[in-house]
């Protein structure tokens, strides 16, 4: 059974790094780079785990996550939210929007792999 993670992140270097480390760990990785149609992309690709940037062009990750949590089919999707802001209020905002886990940039590659493994039940 393949494990699928969707990365919604607009910074190409971060997307490439996450894709590389998770592919090497055995994950099937797909990517998306804007917030405008991110909810539709999540529904279409049906990932096992979603990595979602808080700040995206077109729409914030917080708004995207609220929409996903309002959808009964997406309410339990494990979501790792990434943000360049690591203050307590940012963590609280992510958790209030429905993030399963929160991680600040820059992050250690091993921390991302560990988080996705836990979220994916591996």
pTM: 0.96
Q: Residue 88 pLDDT more than 90?
A: no
Report the number of distinct structural domains present in the chain: 1
Q: Is residue 98 part of a domain?
A: yes
Q: Does residue 75 lie within any of the structural domains?
A: yes
- Domain range for residue 94? 18-103
| Secondary-structure breakdown of the chain: helix, strand, coil percentages, each rounded to the nearest 5 | 45, 20, 35
* Percentage of residues of the chain with pLDDT beyond 70: 98
Q: What is the pLDDT, as a whole number, of residue 1?
A: 53
Could you tell me the CATH number of the domain that includes residue 28?
Answer: 3.40.50.2300
CA distance 105 to 43: 26
- 83 phi/psi in degrees, rounded to 5: -150, 150
Mean pLDDT over residues 96-105, rounded? 94
Report pLDDT for 84. Answer: 87
Q: Note the pLDDT tens digit of each residue in 47-71.
A: 999 999 999 999 999 999 999 999 9
Block residue for tokens 């994950």: 27
SS3 of residue 119 by DSSP:
helix
DSSP 74: T
């Amino acid at each position: 059974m393949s494990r699928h993670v969707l990365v919604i992140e607009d910074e190409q270097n971060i997307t490439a790094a996450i894709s590389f480390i998770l592919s090497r760990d055995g994950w099937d990785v797909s990517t998306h780079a804007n917030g405008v149609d991110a909810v539709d992309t999540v529904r279409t690709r049906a990932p096992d785990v979603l990595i979602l940037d808080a700040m995206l062009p077109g729409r914030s990750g917080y708004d995207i996550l609220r929409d996903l949590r309002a959808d009964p089919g997406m309410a339990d999707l494990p979501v790792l939210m990434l943000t360049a802001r690591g203050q307590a209020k940012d963590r609280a905002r992510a958790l209030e929007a429905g993030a399963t886990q929160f991680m600040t940039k820059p992050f250690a590659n091993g921390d991302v792999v560990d988080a996705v493994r836990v979220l994916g039940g591996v």
